[in-house]
Structure 1
Amino acid sequence: MDAVTAAQSGNMLLTCVNMHTTGEPTRIIISGYPDLSGTLLEQRAEARAKHDHIRKRLMLEPAGHADMYGAILRKKTELTQSGEAHIGVLFVTNEDYSTMCGHATIALGRLLVDTQDLSVFPRRKEVKYDPHTKTAVVNLHAPCGLVRVTVPTTEDGTRSDPSRPVTFVNVPSFATGKNIKVDISGADGWPELGQREHVTVSFCYGGAFTCLVSVEELGFDNLKQPLNHAALTFATRNLKSIVNGDPRYQKYMTHPEHDDLSSLYTLIVVDENLGLAIGDSKGAETGLCYFADQQIDRSPTGSATAARVAFAFAAGELSLGESWTYHSLVSNASNGRGGFVGTVLESIPELYDEGTMLGEPVRVQVAGQAFYVGTSTYISEDEDPFGSGGFLFNSL
């Protein structure tokens, strides 16, 4: 049986482009996904209710793995129909459908500029090219809102330039809590915590809510290798479970406009003493990001970069126009290559909510680089007991 015949025996063909941003994968579905209707958030709900087997099929084993990440292009949303956006996207993880993803946005920016296939990107010809800066701007409708993606290009604007970083201007980002004590009962503690009964954390939003905790606060020395990943995973899983399960902390994860965005997505362990500054950044730090069901982000995490910049602005550590470098374990292991740079572009005083925010929301620009890995077509044979839903070996 040749490959074509084998593919035809599958009950659904899914064609994907695979990319990575600082080693973090983005599997982008460009064809084969069923039609969805309504607003983008309604499409997200429909995908979860009716087509979640596709997410599992591509994210989980045997086609994926515990740390796979994906994106589903949506050609029609309320913002594409109004002309505000060129295309929409749904983000998928090993667990669910996230509201924002910066590393995937950086990858999508390149793909959407590079493709000339109007069946993949019907509004490709509407993307504006600036010959002076040699950049093209794609307006992307993410579940959290409109994200403006600026992609460096070749001389004629028809292809992306991988030698220069993609940037995106995120939805309004803000801080909601600083130095909040989280109570840890004895049963929920971890050995490195010792006799302490609480840890101090902070909360911020950059398209998804993030909880920040220092590596020392968790009871570990630093994020230098070699790390005890099992111990860190255990500690962060417990902490995230406590924060999500205790109503006392829900006010720090409440979006002022959309209930669908009001949940903790990311927990980042921060080492302020590790990392090299990129360009004219004021400084640098390193974060180990856990998201969804304890997925570890290989990249510095774009939505959390925006959130951390907003937190630094609210705390008086960054001013308008200033930048900071955010590293992951991967970028640190690569001598700083692959770090993200977050910059405070402007404050948005009209969106400030004194009751829930520490300071004025800001628009943050995030810069990073993504690269192609390959293309692939996925099938699921009717007889395959593992092909339609997938599994995670460590969760069996």
Structure 2
Amino acid sequence: MNRNNFANWEAPASWLKISSLECHTGGEPLRIITSGFPVLKGATILEMRRDCATNYDHLRTALMFEPRGHADMYGCIITPAERADSDFGVLFLHNEGYSTMCGHAIIALTRAAIEAGVVEKCEPVTALRIDVPAGQIQAYAEIEQGEIQRIYFDNVASFVLDADAEIEVPGLGRVRYTLAYGGAFYAYVDAPSIGLSLQAENHSQIIDAGRRIKQAVQASRSITHPFQADLGFLYGTIFSAPTQTPGVHSRNVCIFAEGELDRSPTGSGVAGQAAILHAQGALPLNQKIVIESILGSQFQVSAVSTLSYGAHHAVIPRVEGNAHIVGKSCFYLDPSDPLQHGFIFR
């Protein structure tokens, strides 16, 4: 083993130290904060979200922005459970603020929670209940001979808010979109209809188009969640297109927050896609489809049940994917560092 004296460096005791577990799901990063973050106040996840945004947003930027992160970084804070039957709660972080739901994070958290002993490992299936801003998520891991074989979760009620909308977008012209909710609201756009390639080498153009569409939709309409005002906002734009990959239904590329490009197929995004396809009669209950990301990583999604959700006909989507642990990190905030709270270029 190659070790040198640089490993002997120690931070002054007065510096804030924040530790994390580093993961990815289908290429999309997840930084799980494991220690050092202040305890958030509130009886619900939404109340804790407000407390974090009001009092500790400088720590979000410190952990998501450069030099500790980057413009497409994603993370989460573990909180006490909101509900008596939940295992824990989670607050999601990104370059713009705080997500309401995140499927790729749920998949990574399920693996990490089981492997770290946060919940007891049970064969053949370990079930978790996780409180998120959008509600309670039921997550599952199938286990064989002590090893996780499959991870999937049942999402919150997902529905179509506007099946046929159109907006004038600077630089793109008239753009047709569907507005749907899968734990967050997205504007879904058929990429070929605007001449947009979803190949990885076209990522800059995809980000630009996604930001333009999001800004135009936000400026043109209000978005209301049936029950929680805090959930009523447009989170991003999702582009869909056919793919040549055998056995794959389509490719999804999500541009969310402040121009972040999701490396995964987007868990809450494919949940909204399931709601759209079910409403169109193209996805019967319990029929599984595979959706790929800009990297070719895959999520499997189905609609497992229907329900009324306020005035909306909704489905409960089931999303399956895989996650990997890639490291542990320890970050320090030097009070004399003028860039201690981070910076970002997008």
Bigger drift between 377-386 and 306-315 goes to: 377-386
Matches within 5 A, 1:246-395: 246-247=220-221, 250=222, 253-277=223-247, 284-331=249-296, 338-348=297-307, 350-351=308-309, 353=311, 357=312, 360-387=313-340, 389-394=341-346
Aligned-CA RMSD value: 1.8
1:182 to 147, 158, 167: 167
Q: 2:140 aligns with which of 132, 150, 154?
A: 150
Deviation at 1:205, TM superposition (A): 0.6
2:62 is matched with: 57
Cα distance between partner residues in 1 of 2:58 and 2:98: 13
Runs of 4+ in structure 1 off by over 3 angstroms are 1-5, 273-276
Q: Which of 32, 36, 45 is the aligned partner of 2:36?
A: 32
- Tell me which amino acid in the other structure corresponds to 1:49: T
Instruction: Decide whether the 8 Å contact of 1:61 with 1:391 is kept in 2.
Output: yes
CA distance in 2: counterparts of 1:42 and 1:3, whole angstroms: 40
Which residue of 1 is the match for residue 50 of structure 2?
Answer: 45
Q: How many Å apart are 1:226 and its aligned residue?
A: 3.7
| Deviation of 1:56 (Å) | 0.7
- Write the distance in 2 (CA, Å) between the matches of 1:393 and 1:204: 29
Q: Residue in 1 aligned with 2:17?
A: 13
Deviations 1:156-199 (A, max 9, x none): 5xxx52xx331000011111112211123xxx2x2xx4xxx411
TM-score of the superposition, structure 2-length normalised? 0.93
Unaligned residue ranges in structure 1 (runs of 5+) = 278-282, 332-337
- Once residues 384 and 226 of structure 1 are traced to their aligned partners in structure 2, the CA distance between those partners, rounded to angstroms, is 36
Query: Which secondary structure does the structure 1 equivalent of 2:37 belong to?
Result: coil
Deviation per residue, 1:263-305 (Å, 9 max, x gap): 111211111244432xxxxx51001110000000000000011
Q: Partners of 1:351 and 1:230 in 2: how far apart?
A: 37
Measure, in 2, the Cα distance between the counterparts of 1:386 and 1:255. 37
**1:152–1:10 distance in 2 versus 1, CA, 3 Å:** farther
TM-score computed with the length of structure 1 as normaliser:
0.82
Q: Distance in 2 between matches of 1:224 and 1:12?
A: 41
**Is the CA contact 1:276–1:325 (under 8 Å) kept in the aligned structure 2?**
no
The answer as to whether partners of 1:10 and 1:379 remain within 8 angstroms in 2 is: no
Equivalence for 2:128:
138
Q: Aligned pairs, how many?
A: 341
Structure 1 residues 57 and 154, CA, compared in 2 at 3 Å: closer, same or farther? farther
C-alpha distance in 2 between matches for 1:275 and 1:362: 27
Segments of structure 2 that go 5 or more residues without pairing to the other structure are: none
% identity of equivalent residues: 33
| Match in the other structure for 2:204 | 230
Superposition deviation, residue 237 in structure 1: 1.4
1:70 maps to which residue?
75
